[in-house]
Amino acid sequence: MEESINLDLGSVIEREFSLKPVAPESYSPLNLAYIGDCVFDLVIKSIHLNEGNMPVHTLHEKTSHLVNAKTQSEIMRHLQELLTKEEHDIFKRGRNTKSVSAAKNQSIADYRRATGFEALIGYLYLKKEYERLIELIKIGLLSLEEED
C-alpha cells in the first residue's frame, strides 16, 4: 500500500523554488519578524475567511483589529510565561532590536514587544514547528477573548 506524503507550505516553497536550507538561528531578528508578520497575518486572515464570504473591507477590518502592534503586544504579555527558554531568547532578540521604522500610533514598548512576537512566530515557522506556532497564537487569541 502506498503511503501518502504530507507536505507543508514551507517545504513546497523550498522544493519548487529550489531554496537552500538556512538555519533559522542565522537570521536577524528583523528578518524573523518580517516573515513572522506575514505568517501571523495569514493565520488571522484564514480564521476570518472561514467565517464565510463577506465584503473584503469587512474582512480587512476584522483582520487589522488583530494584526497590529498593540494587539500583538497584548498577546505576547499572555504568552511570555509559557515560552521555552529558546523561544524566550528569540522573543527578547526581536524585542531588543532597533527597528529602522518608528512605531505608528503605538507606544515604543508595544511596538518592540510586537516585534519580538513576530520574530518568535517567524522563527517557529522557519523551524517548521507549526503545531507550536499555532498553539501559541491560539492561546494568545483566547486570552484576548477572556479579557473582553
Instruction: Please give the positions annotated as active site.
Output: 37
The residue type at 80: Q
Q: Count of residues for the chain?
A: 148
Q: What nine digits make up the cell of 69?
A: 502592534
Contact 51, 124 (CB under 8 A): no
Q: Is the dihedral of CA 84, 89, 93, 96 positive or negative?
A: positive
**How far is the C-alpha of 13 from the C-alpha of 7, rounded, in Å?**
10
**How far is the C-alpha of 118 from the C-alpha of 140, rounded, in Å?**
13
